[in-house]
Amino acid sequence: MSTPSHSTPRAPLLSTAEALATLLAAATPIAETESVPTLEALGRVLAADVVSELDVPPTHTSMMDGYAVRIADLMQGDRRLPVSQRVPAGHRPEPLVTGTAARIFTGAPIPPGADAVVMQEQAEADGDAVAILHTPKAGEWITAQGADIRRGAVILPAGTRLSPQALGLAASIGAARLEVKRRLKVAVFFTGDELTMPGEPLAPGGIYNSNRFTLRALLERLNCQVTDLGIVPDRLEATRDALAAAASGHDLILTSGGVSVGEEDHVKPAVESQGRLALWQIAMKPGKPLAFGAVRRDAASGAVAASTRDEAHFIGLPGNPVSSFVTFLLFVRPFLLRLAGVPSVEPRAIALRADFTQTKADRRNEFLRARINGAGGLDLFPNQSSAVLTSTVWGDGLIDNPPNHAISAGETVRFLPFSELLG
């Protein structure tokens, strides 16, 4: 009589929140910085606070085309005032002579002594004089000195990812250069003998390597310096060689494919032989087979890493195109942003109405491709397969659906817009 075997129970899959927390805990921000021209700093991460050395605006300015006046002069009964000067933007005015008005234009400095601006629609020009048809209040149509920015104020804190409007704000205080974190260096490669590049003949059983185009574009959108090692054959030794080459001089090794449990999936054993894995497989759909760990930078010698500085981070994404895309947005993007020094990396979700019913609940956290309809609700893409890349172009974002939850039409769901995930 045979003795029954007792297999080791499989550890429960990590939740998406646990997995993200694991990645972010390991993402110690890089220390290296560089100074770049403000015009070339789009998307970079500030390494130091930007502090204003001046007030903005630097003096009281007019918000309108019109006439700068002293209100007390309008209380004398005669509202017809001689025009004593003309003040265009960028010109220094003289003090306003008592009993006169100054012709002034939008953005021009207010003459000393004037305490209001009457817009030209409420005045009538009469030769060298003007009839004021409106009694203004003190400060009317005047932007006060420092109303936008005060001298000494931090206008952009360290860790800010520089948007177009942030560059404009920096320029408004005269910042010609900005101190930013250096660009992250990412090596990427793709596993799978079936992969073919567009433009090459497609062999029987082959597929075009869409992930190479998607992932490279996503990395470049995050201002990474990308080293593309191409397609690696489905062999353990080739995968090890690629990891060793990628570890040198890079902050992150990113791979696509080969992280499942099949006989041709070599990424996991290759990483374990040349480094370590801290995470493998997540309770999510699509994107369950995601791996995270590190590869020794001197892996070829077999030495043990003395510290995390001797390692390159490793993230292995699934090979299915939607799974690869979704896991990049939810895990790789926040990991890279935190590595670059951005403190707040989680996307902002919005609550929207589901205009569909999904009766089948999955035991995993689902990320469903959906788009906003004309009524302000969400429509669901009819095919949620991880191979249907069309859904990522059709959709406006992802519904973050909890495990074991069926969705009923009319209920409120948590929606992650692509505008948040791709920015």
Sequence spans of domains, the chain: 16-29+183-339, 33-53+150-181, 61-143, 350-421
Is the Cα torsion angle 16, 18, 21, 26 positive or negative in sign? negative
Tell me what pLDDT residue 5 has.
42
Assigned superfamily of 350-421 = MoeA, C-terminal, domain IV (2.40.340.10)
Assigned superfamily of 33-53+150-181 = Molybdopterin biosynthesis moea protein, domain 2 (3.90.105.10)
Assigned superfamily of 61-143 = Molybdopterin biosynthesis moea protein, domain 3. (2.170.190.11)
Tell me what pLDDT residue 302 has.
53
Tens-of-pLDDT digits for all 423 residues of the chain?
334 444 445 667 899 999 999 999 999 999 999 999 999 999 999 999 999 999 999 999 999 999 999 999 999 877 899 999 999 999 999 999 999 999 999 999 999 999 999 999 999 999 999 999 999 999 999 999 999 999 999 999 999 999 999 999 999 999 999 999 999 999 999 998 888 889 999 989 889 999 999 999 999 999 999 999 999 988 899 999 999 999 999 999 999 987 765 555 688 889 999 999 999 889 999 998 899 999 999 865 455 555 567 999 999 999 999 999 999 999 999 999 999 999 999 999 999 999 999 999 999 999 999 999 999 999 999 999 999 999 999 999 999 999 999 999 999 999 999 999 998
Kind and range of the H or E element at 180? strand 177-181
Tell me what pLDDT residue 194 has.
87
Query: Do 180 and 39 meet the contact criterion of CB atoms below 8 Å apart?
Result: no
Tell me what pLDDT residue 132 has.
97
Calpha distance 420→387 (Å, rounded) = 23
At the topology level of CATH, where does 16-29+183-339 sit? Molybdenum Cofactor Biosythetic Enzyme; Chain A (3.40.980)
Q: What's the predicted TM-score (pTM) here? A: 0.89
Calpha distance 175→162 (Å, rounded) = 13
Tell me what pLDDT residue 76 has.
80
Exposure class string for 290-314: b at 16+ Cβ within 10 A, else e: bbbbbbbbbbeeeeebeeeeebbbb
Calpha distance 245→278 (Å, rounded) = 21
Radius of gyration of the chain (CA): 31
Query: Do 189 and 230 meet the contact criterion of CB atoms below 8 Å apart?
Result: yes
Is the Cα torsion angle 393, 395, 399, 404 positive or negative in sign? negative
